[in-house]
Amino acid sequence: MGSYYMVVQGDHISKIAKENGFPDYHTIWDHPNNADLKKKRDNPNVLNPGDQIFIPDKEQKEESGNTEKRHTFQVKKEPLKLRLVLEDMYEKPIANATYALLVEGVVTQKTTDGKGHIEQDIPLDAHEATLVLRGDETPFRDIPFPIKIGNLDPVEEVSGQVARLNNLGYFPGDGTDDDAFESAVEEFQCDHGLKIDGICGPKTQAKLKQIHGC
């Protein structure tokens, strides 16, 4: 029969799938009962608290094989990647910088690429990470940056707009100060050739999503 699950802050589809015993999130996301939500949320890892997701029942699958031989079965798993772009206060990429990334107790040490990009496979149910820059290429050396995985709300929500503006360095506060939010939106609009009205409407939302990357 299946059942519906209500999304809470910090949920993403890979985490929900793993917690319900599905190694591939598409089994849930592509189910016909989730068609309306799939149309509304184009990124399955950017959900909004209160969204309803249908969780189907797991199905048994039978495979035939010779009883006199040993057989190996491989479970298909959809990988989950954490992607970050690091820029300094002048919007220049923090390129070729050594960093340490802690995710669910596992530390990875690498360097950013020439565009300040980081891409790392992470556990399907990961919900937090910490990034520490180690090189001399940045004044942010040895400062721990907490990362909340699955906490980014859709750009149509004010909370999602606030998070993206904060991540891009526009400082709108927490969304409760209307003047700070309007000022941050105006600054973003000015920087990206949009009509400056302090309103985060559809065109501003689209540009904000594009610049932020999701």
What is the Cβ-side half-sphere exposure of residue 49, based on CA atoms within 13 angstroms? 8
pLDDT in tens, 83-94: 999 988 788 899
Same domain, 25 and 48: yes
Dist CA 97 CA 142 (whole Å): 12
Kindly state whether residue 89 falls inside one of the protein's structural domains: yes
pLDDT at 70: 73
Q: CB–CB of 188/165 below 8 Å?
A: yes
Kindly state whether residue 47 falls inside one of the protein's structural domains: yes
Same domain, 139 and 164: no
| Angle subtended at Cα 108 by Cα 9 and Cα 90, rounded to the nearest 5 degrees | 75
pLDDT at 64: 66
Same domain, 19 and 44: yes
Give the domain CATH number at 43: 3.10.350.10
Higher-pLDDT residue of 32 and 68 is 32
Last residue of a domain, one of 148, 167, 196: 148
Helix axes 178-191, 202-212, angle to 10 degrees: 70
Q: Tokens 């309306």 appear where? A: 36
Same domain, 95 and 143: yes
Phi, psi of 90 (to 5 degrees): -105, 15
Kindly state whether residue 63 falls inside one of the protein's structural domains: no
Whether pLDDT at 63 is above 70:
no
pLDDT at 184: 97
pLDDT at 72: 66
Kindly state whether residue 163 falls inside one of the protein's structural domains: yes
30 CB contacts (<8 Å, ≥6 apart)?
38
pLDDT in tens, 15-24: 999 999 998 9
The residues that bridge with 103 in the sheet, in sequence order, are: 106, 129
Same domain, 138 and 164: no
Number of domains present in the structure of the chain: 3
3-state secondary structure of 134: coil
For range 98-107, the mean pLDDT = 94
What percentage of the chain exceeds 70 in pLDDT? 91
What percentage of the chain exceeds 90 in pLDDT? 76
Same domain, 90 and 136: yes
Kindly state whether residue 74 falls inside one of the protein's structural domains: no
pLDDT in tens, 135-192: 776 778 889 999 999 999 999 999 999 999 999 999 999 889 999 999 999 999 999 9
Kindly state whether residue 8 falls inside one of the protein's structural domains: yes
Same domain, 137 and 165: no
pLDDT at 204: 98
Q: CB–CB of 2/54 below 8 Å?
A: yes
Kindly state whether residue 40 falls inside one of the protein's structural domains: yes
Same domain, 88 and 140: yes
Q: Which of 116, 203, 102, 107 lies closest to 161 in space, CA to CA?
A: 203
Whether pLDDT at 73 is above 60:
no
Dist CA 64 CA 73 (whole Å): 12
For range 32-53, the mean pLDDT = 95
The domain in which residue 41 lies consists of 3-55
pLDDT at 139: 76
Same domain, 89 and 138: yes
First-residue to last-residue Cα distance in the chain: 34
Same domain, 86 and 142: yes
Same domain, 84 and 144: yes
Whether pLDDT at 112 is above 80:
yes
Give the domain CATH number at 105: 2.60.40.10
pLDDT at 1: 83
| Angle subtended at Cα 45 by Cα 74 and Cα 133, rounded to the nearest 5 degrees | 95
pLDDT at 89: 79
pLDDT at 74: 59
Kindly state whether residue 61 falls inside one of the protein's structural domains: no
